[in-house]
């Protein structure tokens, strides 16, 4: 096939991902032209500082600080600057001028997605964002396209590499959270300010994007329940290990029916969870990511690989570019977002799951029965209890595993336990995920 025309590509951002995208665009120019049916001509790279040191050797004349002028002459704009502004305004300008857009910007898609998709649809432009979730791992296109004929029931995702690395270090070496974070920082996994990762904010943005695609519903970022890993202790990891579980920061997106109202909707939440060691997600080690999808007809699927890294993420960006380049050549509008279901977004209190509750209690006759009674009174069924007596202090540690129970019932149980005279402290409450859907 002979490339019959040229597509002018403007790159916004020349950092970790942008520099690799630029390199691959230049090095693979001929092959990419054959795949697209048009030459992909890199017309410039907008950066903050044209003189900044770069790890990739790129032609100096491509760099500019004038992003607005650069996008004026582009057929395709690739946004790899990150952050909300000026990325949002530049993408709106690009779409408005008829250009197609590729972005890796999960923060922007999670917070301003509807505005961007509406404009893209209005002008018939394409907006692709495979790199926004799971870096190199194909997960956006599978949900948007391959699974478009199925009904997705639930997604369990390890979508943040930094926290997975930290929890894996704690699990495999017994390290504290502080020590594991220091290792992650020294190895370049964690940012100087790790709040977005360890606070679960990055994962919550990805959960909002995944839930929206899976359930054909707009899922605002502020409707995603979020807990980070900052409260996770070496003791919790060791206790989970003893019981045959591993602790992971999970993004859980699922169809739920509120037990109180019977309303059917969807829920998206991010929190640490115990996962059985024989679940495929337990095998996701280090900074890797994986998204486990349960669909009505397809059954269980897992998408696994590098969730970050400059060149790995560049793979997803180039895939998006080739895909929209082909459509650009063939003509016709882009793939619109599918949000026709607009299911109610239900609060975390509507969710039912299993829990592991660790209590410090006084060690005397009748305590076990009293504790069991509190669970029963609040409608939470106990699956197993483990007790370890702590020397001569007259206290014992109880680890109680529950059957599936509504979040609201568990919260009421924990409240009642906290004020019960035999309970010295509720040491830990952690959700248990990865069981078959009932
Ligand atoms: N690095 C990864 O592994 C990874 C993985 C998945 C997604 N992403 C996403 O990819 C995007 C880029 O990430 P990165 O790691 O390459 O970032 P980076 O910080 O390494 O690079 C950002 C680039 O954008 C330029 N830039 C930033 N603000 C600008 C402005 N106002 N005007 C002009 N230029 C500006 C900077 O000069 C720099 O060249 C982000 O949205 C990020 O969330 C990154
Ligand atoms: N900070 C993110 C980068 C990829 O989005 C992570 O640790 O996974
Ligand atoms: Na991806």
pLDDT tens, 312-327?
999 999 999 999 999 9
Does 171 score more than 70 pLDDT?
A: yes
pLDDT in tens, 21-61: 999 999 999 999 999 999 999 999 999 999 999 989 999 99
Does 101 score more than 80 pLDDT?
A: yes
Q: What percent of the chain has pLDDT over 70?
A: 97
Tell me the pLDDT band of 86, cut-offs 50, 70 and 90: very high
Bond from prior residue into 86 cis (ω within 30 degrees of 0): yes
**10 CA distance to ligand 1 centroid (A)?**
15
Average pLDDT, the chain: 95
**206 CA distance to ligand 2 centroid (A)?**
10
Residue 199 lies in a domain: yes
- C-alpha to C-alpha distance for 247 and 431, rounded to whole angstroms: 10
Q: Which of 288, 321, 339 is the last residue of a domain?
A: 339
Residue 301 lies in a domain: yes
Has 248 been labeled as part of a binding site?
A: no
Whether residue 101 contacts residue 91, with contact meaning beta carbons closer than 8 Å, is answered with: yes
Has 18 been labeled as part of a binding site?
A: yes
* pLDDT the model gives residue 224: 98
Q: Which of 105, 162, 201, 248 to mutate to test the pocket of ligand 2 (most atoms within 8 A of CB)?
A: 162
Domain, as residue range, for 277: 140-306
**Ligand 1 surroundings by CB, under 6 angstroms:** 13-18, 46-48, 67, 80-82, 86, 104-106, 131, 135, 308-310, 313
| CATH code of the domain covering residue 91 | 3.40.50.720
Which ipTM did the prediction report? Answer: 0.98
**Ligand 2 surroundings by CB, under 6 angstroms:** 135, 160-162, 197, 202, 307-308
Does 4 score more than 70 pLDDT?
A: no
* pLDDT the model gives residue 332: 80
How many domains would you assign to the chain?
A: 3
Judgement on whether residues 114 and 160 belong to the same structural domain of the protein: no
**82 CA distance to ligand 1 centroid (A)?**
5
pLDDT in tens, 132-149: 999 999 999 999 999 999
pTM over 0.95? The answer is yes
* pLDDT the model gives residue 2: 43
39 is annotated as an active-site residue:
no
- C-alpha to C-alpha distance for 381 and 398, rounded to whole angstroms: 16
Calculate the alpha carbon distances from 323 to 127, 307, 380, 409 in Å. 11, 20, 50, 48
| CATH code of the domain covering residue 379 | 3.30.70.260
Residue 438 lies in a domain: no
Judgement on whether residues 325 and 421 belong to the same structural domain of the protein: no
Angle between helix axes 16-27 and 29-36 (nearest 10 degrees) is 80
- C-alpha to C-alpha distance for 436 and 438, rounded to whole angstroms: 6
């Amino acid at each position: 096939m002979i490339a019959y025309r040229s597509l002018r590509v403007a790159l916004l951002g020349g950092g970790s991902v942008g520099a690799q995208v630029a390199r691959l665009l230049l090095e693979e120019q001929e092959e990419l032209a054959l795949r697209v049916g048009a030459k992909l001509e890199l017309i410039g790279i907008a950066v903050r500082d044209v003189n900044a040191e770069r790890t990739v050797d790129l032609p100096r004349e491509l760099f500019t600080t004038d992003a607005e002028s650069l996008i004026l002459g582009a057929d395709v704009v690739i946004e790899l600057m990150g952050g909300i502004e000026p990325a949002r305004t530049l993408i709106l300008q690009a779409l408005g001028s008829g250009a197609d857009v590729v972005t890796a910007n999960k923060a922007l898609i999670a917070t301003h997605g509807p505005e961007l998709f509406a404009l893209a649809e209005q002008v018939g432009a394409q907006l692709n964002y495979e790199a926004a979730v799971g870096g190199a791992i194909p997960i956006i296109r599978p949900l948007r396209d391959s699974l478009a004929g199925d009904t997705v029931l639930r997604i369990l995702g390890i979508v943040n590499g930094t926290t997975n690395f930290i929890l894996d270090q704690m699990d495999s070496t017994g390290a504290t959270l502080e020590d594991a974070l220091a290792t992650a920082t020294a190895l370049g996994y964690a940012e100087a300010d790790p709040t977005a990762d360890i606070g679960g904010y990055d994962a919550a943005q990805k959960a909002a994007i995944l839930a929206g695609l899976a359930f054909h519903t707009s899922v605002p970022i502020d409707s995603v329940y979020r807990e980070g890993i900052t409260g996770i202790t070496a003791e919790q990891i060791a206790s989970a290990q003893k019981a045959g579980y591993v602790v992971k920061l999970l993004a859980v997106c699922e169809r739920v029916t509120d037990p109180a109202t019977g309303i059917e909707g969807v829920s998206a939440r991010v929190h640490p969870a115990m996962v059985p060691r024989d679940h495929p997600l337990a095998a996701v080690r280090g900074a890797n990511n994986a998204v486990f999808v349960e669909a009505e007809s397809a059954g269980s699927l897992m998408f696994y690989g590098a969730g970050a890294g400059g060149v790995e993420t560049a793979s997803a960006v180039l895939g998006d570019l080739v895909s929209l380049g082909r459509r650009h050549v063939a003509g016709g509008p882009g793939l619109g977002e599918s949000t026709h279901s607009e299911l109610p977004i239900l609060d975390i209190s509507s969710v039912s799951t299993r829990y592991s509750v660790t209590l410090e209690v006084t060690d005397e006759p009748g305590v076990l029965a009293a504790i069991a009674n509190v669970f029963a009174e609040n409608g939470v069924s106990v699956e197993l209890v483990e007790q370890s007596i702590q020397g001569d202090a007259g206290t014992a540690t109880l680890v109680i595993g529950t059957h599936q129970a509504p979040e609201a019932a568990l919260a009421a149980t924990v409240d009642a336990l906290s004020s019960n005279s035999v309970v010295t402290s509720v040491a830990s409450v952690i959700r248990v995920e990865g069981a078959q859907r009932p």
